Amino acid sequence: MLFLAMAAAFIGAIILTPLVIKFAFRIGAVDKPNHRKVHAGIMPRIGGLAIFGAFLIGYAILLPKDEHAAGILIGAVIIIAIGFFDDMLEITAKAKALGQLVAAIIVMTVGNLQIDFINLPFLGQIDFGYLSIPITLLWIVGVTNAINLIDGLDGLAAGVSTIALISISVMALIMGNTFVLVTAAILAASSLGFLLFNFHPAKIFMGDTGSLFLGFMISVLALLGFKNVAIVSLIIPIIMLGVPISDTFFAIVRRIRMKQSITAPDKSHLHHCLLRAGFSHRQTVLVIYGIAILFGIAAVLFSQATVWGAILLLGVILLAIELFVEIIGLAGTNYRPILNLVRMIGK
């Protein structure tokens, strides 16, 4: 039945996306080129409606039972509405943030989902108490916006999200979490069907309608699959989402170093850096897909490692990320602490 639901979601996206393209042009939900955009023509930008619709088709076939399901679906509808209004009217950042907070609170209350505690090696269980609320909110809103921030090239956010969802599905299968497995797999199929129209050269953008929805669902599914576990396991979803999380983290670092607002837009995200390095549009997207796949594989290996093995693997991952960031200039062209240290030692 799962494969039937996935097939229905995939085909649903293929059928719905052309309809959404026509609908977007009819209501004026289009993206016009400017100095920050890489596309040259007017593009429809509410593709997230096709992803959401296809997901609902696949989800309706199985209707997986879970105490968290109602809260997640209500939160998803709120996120879709916020993204749609932003794509149509370009609402303020505060309004978008408020909508995301409302959706996250719905998940926490109606869906009864939050991080209550973790188990630290050598220290045992640590209860978060009241801190569980802001920690859970920070995770959901942070990951939701991380996917939104990487949505800068044709097929980038959809492809990276699909890879992350496949990784979550594999981990859910290993851990025996049927609800997360089913939901993530159906959503991955929906995103993959949409990607056929979104890969370069794109016929439609997912817009905030899609990127916020995918980010929200990924954040919730990752949280649902790995909440209240050992700190080593809590790191797994962070590794899975290594591309959007690291891009967001170093964007904040870059803007702080440049004495800019952390919400200030720029053209120094991961895909911008790779484009400046000489990669074509399609090559840049494929390189980032490759990085996302490596993160997904690392997450699975991480889950099967011993505590000390996991710590060693995490150290290697962090060092590799730092070196990559310094080489491509993700945190700024003059940010090279490790490379400068290596040069000093070499002299």
Written as one letter, the residue type at 287 is V
Tens of pLDDT, residues 133-163: 888 898 899 889 888 888 778 888 999 999 9
pLDDT at 181 over 90: yes
- For residue 303, give both structure tokens: 């889950």
Domain that holds residue 12: 2-346
More confident residue, 210 or 176: 210
- Contact call for residues 64 and 179 (beta carbons, < 8 A): yes
DSSP letters spanning 276-322? HTT--HHHHHHHHHHHHHHHHHHHHHHHHS-HHHHHHHHHHHHHHHH
pLDDT at 314 over 70: yes
Residue 63 has pLDDT above 90, yes or no: no
Confidence of residue 264 (pLDDT cuts 50, 70, 90): low
In the structure encoding, which two tokens stand for residue 345, read together?
């030692």
CA distance 102 to 171: 28
Confidence grade of residue 58 (pLDDT, cut at 50, 70, 90): very high
Residue 7 phi/psi, 5-degree rounding, is -65, -40
Q: What is the pTM of this model?
A: 0.87
Looking at the 3D structure of the chain, how many domains does it have? Answer: 1
Quick one: pLDDT band at residue 92, thresholds 50, 70, 90?
A: confident
Report angle CA 247, 134, 315 to the nearest 5 degrees.
40
Per DSSP, the residues of 61-126 read: HH----TTHHHHHHHHHHHHHHHHHHHHH---HHHHHHHHHHHHHHHHHTS-----EEEETTTEEE
**Res 129 pLDDT > 70:** yes
307 band by pLDDT with thresholds 50, 70 and 90:
confident
Residue 205 reports pLDDT greater than 60: yes
Q: pLDDT class for 130, splitting at 50, 70, 90?
A: confident
pLDDT of 11 reads 97
Confidence check: pLDDT of 89 > 70: yes
- Of the candidate ranges 245-259, 276-290, 313-327, the one whose mean pLDDT is the lowest: 245-259
- Concatenating the DSSP letter of every residue in 174-233 gives HHT-HHHHHHHHHHHHHHHHHHHHHSSSPS---HHHHHHHHHHHHHHHHHHHHSSSBHHH
In the predicted structure, residue 79 carries a pLDDT above the cut 60: yes
Residue 127 DSSP SS3? strand
Select the more confidently predicted residue: 90 or 264: 90
Looking only at the bridges linking them, the beta strands covering 43-44 and 30-31 are: antiparallel
Residue 334: which of 325, 342, 321 has the closest Cα? Answer: 325
In DSSP terms, 19 is beta-bridged to: none
Question: Residue 325: CB partners within 8 Å, gap ≥ 6?
Answer: 246, 250, 331, 335
pLDDT at position 115 over 70: yes
- Among all chains, which residue has been given the structure tokens 């669902």? 217
pLDDT tens-digit series, residues 9-50: 999 999 999 999 999 999 988 877 655 555 556 889 899 999
